[in-house]
Amino acid sequence: MTLGGRVIKQGPSLPKKTNTYLTYQFMKLSLCSFTTRMALLAAAVFAITLAPQPLRAQDAAPAAEPTLEQRIADLEAYVNNGARTEGVESKISGPGPGHNAWQMTSTALVLFMTLPGLALFYGGLVRSKNILSILAMCLGIAGMVTILWWAVGYSLAFGAGNAFVGDLSYAFFNGVKPGATGAGYYWISDSIWAMFQLTFAIITPALIFGATAERMKFSAVLLFTAIWMFVVYFPLAHMVWSTTGFMCGPLNPDAGIKAIDFAGGTVVHMSSGWSALVLCIILGPRLGFGKEPMPPHSMVLCMVGTGMLFVGWFGFNAGSALGADAIASNAFATTFLCAATAGFVWGMIEWVLKGKPSVLGFCSGIVAGLVVITPAAGFVNTTAAMIMGVLAGIVPFFAVMYLKKALGYDDALDTFGVHGVGGTLGAILTGVFADPSVNSVVEGLKAGLLVEQLKACVFTIVLSVVATAVIALIVKFTIGLRPTAEVETQGLDINEHGEEGYLLD
């Protein structure tokens, strides 16, 4: 009804007797004097005021305000990136601005590693007729993995589940809210945590196909990736980083293997590197491999991509501290030192043994250093990082230069030599150099840690190798792994994507 031109909504909670009375009174308004009408109006307002109303959440007694001491303790927890004050309603109930800002920045940096970092790094290393196949691979995987992650991947990786895989409690990002915290860490948004982990899920399978570059069908790349994510990546991420994970020493007191992995030595680099070795062997070598030269078509693009990977890796490693704190600073420093040292060492070894320090050597060494420090970045001190940098420049170098020749496999862009060997080396060295004074997480795990790291390496290798062999054979006997010899000779760009990377006419 209306009164004085304003809409008045009849309260659903008014008793029937009160409503009947008011209706009757308003029917008589036109017969009453102005004074009587005003009196009746006052009576109506009074009746509405006294009518019983349902109790609403906002009418409930407010929660007790935290004391000044509790509020200060909560603020100190935010500044120190520690646990919130237990049992106290925080005045900083959502994500902490500084820590969350660093996590968003880190997420963007890790995506930058794939698009365009890895795309240009790998793209520069192939022949010009296949550069677009690398770019399409990175773009296609980024899109497909994002869809899988949103639908079920995040839930399978970080849902409670069991020791080996999560559940579907977060399917379609159910319950993943930007204003909530705690899924990843105390002060970062649950949404940003999910996005941060998505960028890891994107780059991992993309690394694999450096080994199979220039000779694998795009449809096979996508099908292999889709199956591999469910069989290898989602379970491995759960086992290493989930609170119920089989290999999550820091978070799961009942873990079968009490290993540590700061930013993905096993989950990202070992899984992709060992899978790459198996896949390239099953796929077979490129046409003309070992008989004709197949030099990189653009070392300029390769170097640009390396620089992007180097910069983006600070988000990868320092971002894995899940806040802008001292552990993030340590991971930042150790990442920088190890990568730069490894790049220099690789170049110098090449100079001594081959007579010239190549740009490719420096680039390969930097990436190897980044891989080796990844599982250890937030657990080791800077001296250890320098030692790891030297080893990262030596061990992967010999794997790339001599092991590949000795065994005869065509790892086109040295994915196994850098990521498989480097990731395994880094995981083992983490057990040697992890320091409780750098990260208190190490304190209760240090005794016997090297053995646990070795167990984690063996488990990861077995899972990656067996799963990849099965998946590769499934793809081979369904849609096929390789294009025809004619397509491979002409190049994948024009045949599979209908485009050319360079139009020089």
Residue range 211-267, pLDDT digits in tens:
999 999 999 999 999 999 999 999 999 999 999 999 999 999 999 999 999 999 999
Pair 22, 103 in one domain: no
Does position 55 have pLDDT exceeding 70, yes or no?
A: no
pLDDT of residue 505: 63
Instruction: For residues 216 and 209, give the distance between their C-alpha atoms in angstroms, rounded to a whole number.
Output: 8
Domain assignment present for 65: no
What is the pLDDT, as a whole number, of residue 18? 38
pLDDT 10s digits, 102-120: 999 999 999 999 999 999 9
Which phi and psi (to 5°) does residue 495 adopt? -85, -40
Residue 418: closest CA among 401, 434, 400, 441: 400
The angle subtended at Cα 231 by Cα 442 and Cα 445, nearest 5°, is 10
pLDDT averaged over every residue in the chain: 90
Please report the pLDDT score of residue 244 as a whole number.
97
Q: Report yes or no on 338 lying in a domain.
A: yes
Tell whether 101 and 44 lie within a shared domain: no
Pair (102, 33) in one structural domain: no
Residue 361: the pLDDT is 98
Least Cα distance to 265 among 415, 422, 394 occurs for: 422
**Cβ within 8 Å of residue 495, ≥6 positions away:** 483, 487
Residues 45 and 151 in one domain: no
> Would you say residue 360 has pLDDT above 90?
yes
CA-CA distance, 478 to 476, in Å (whole number)?
Answer: 6
Q: Does any domain span residue 424? A: yes
In a domain, residue 75? The reply is no
Judge if 289 and 436 occupy the same domain: yes
Question: Where residue 271 sits, what CATH number does that domain have?
Answer: 1.10.3430.10
E strand or H helix that includes residue 97: helix 97-112
**Domain range enclosing 266:** 97-497
Which tens digit of pLDDT belongs to each residue from 295-331?
A: 999 999 999 999 999 999 999 999 999 999 999 999 9
Q: Does residue 156 share a domain with residue 24? A: no
Higher pLDDT, 22 or 370: 370
SS3 content of the chain, % helix, strand, coil (to 5): 65, 0, 35
pLDDT over 90, % of the chain: 83
Give the bridge partners for 60, in sequence order: none
2 in any annotated domain: no
Residue 225 CA to residue 271 CA, distance in Å, equals 13
Has residue 43 been placed in a domain? Answer: yes
- The structure tokens listed for 496 are 């599979």
Q: Which residue has the higher pLDDT, 71 or 216?
A: 216
- The answer to whether the peptide bond before residue 116 is cis (omega within 30 degrees of 0) is yes
Query: Residue 60 pLDDT > 80, yes or no?
Result: no
Same structural domain, 41 and 109: no
Strands 6-7 and 2-3 come out as antiparallel
Confidence (pLDDT) at 61: 52
Q: Can you give the length of the chain in residues? A: 505
> What count of other Cβ atoms lies within 10 Å of the Cβ of residue 383?
12
Cα–Cα distance between 407 and 404 in angstroms, integer? Answer: 5
Question: What is the reported pLDDT for 90?
Answer: 84
What torsion do the CA atoms of 216, 224, 200, 244 make, to the nearest 10 degrees?
Answer: -160
pLDDT of residue 46 exceeding 90, the answer is no
* Token pair 């894995």 in the structure block, residue: 320
pLDDT value of position 483: 97
The whole-number average pLDDT for the span 370-393 is: 98
Is 456 part of any domain?
yes
102 and 13 co-located in one domain: no
Specify the 3-state DSSP secondary structure of 410.
coil
In 3D space, the residue among 237, 378, 247, 373 whose CA is nearest the CA of residue 321 turns out to be 378
Three-state DSSP at 505 gives coil
Query: In a 3-state reduction of DSSP, which class is residue 25?
Result: helix
Question: Can you tell me the distance from the alpha carbon of 127 to that of 119, in angstroms, rounded to the nearest whole number?
Answer: 14
User: Contact, 198 vs 154, CB < 8 A?
Assistant: yes
Name the range with the highest mean pLDDT among 24-28, 43-47, 170-174.
170-174
Do 173 and 256 reside in the same domain of the chain?
yes
139 assigned to some structural domain: yes
pLDDT in tens, 411-447: 999 999 999 999 999 999 999 999 999 999 999 999 9
pTM score, whole prediction: 0.86
Residues 385, 317, single domain; the answer is yes
pLDDT tens digits for range 462-501: 999 999 999 999 999 999 999 999 999 999 999 999 999 9
What is the SS3 assignment for 173-188? HCCCCCCCECCCCCCC
Question: Alpha helix (H) ranges present in 411-480?
Answer: 415, 421-433, 449-476
Phi, psi of 498 (to 5 degrees): 70, 25
What is the Cα gyration radius of the chain? 30
DSSP letter at 367 equals H
Residues 39 and 171 in one domain: no
* Distance separating alpha carbons of residues 94 and 264, to the nearest angstrom: 28
Instruction: Say how many domains are in the chain.
Output: 2
The answer to whether 197 and 237 have CB atoms below 8 angstroms apart is yes
Indicate if 168 and 105 belong to the same structural domain.
Answer: yes
pLDDT digits (tens, 9 = 90+) for 153-191: 999 999 999 999 999 999 999 999 999 999 999 999 999
The pLDDT assigned to 63 comes to 59
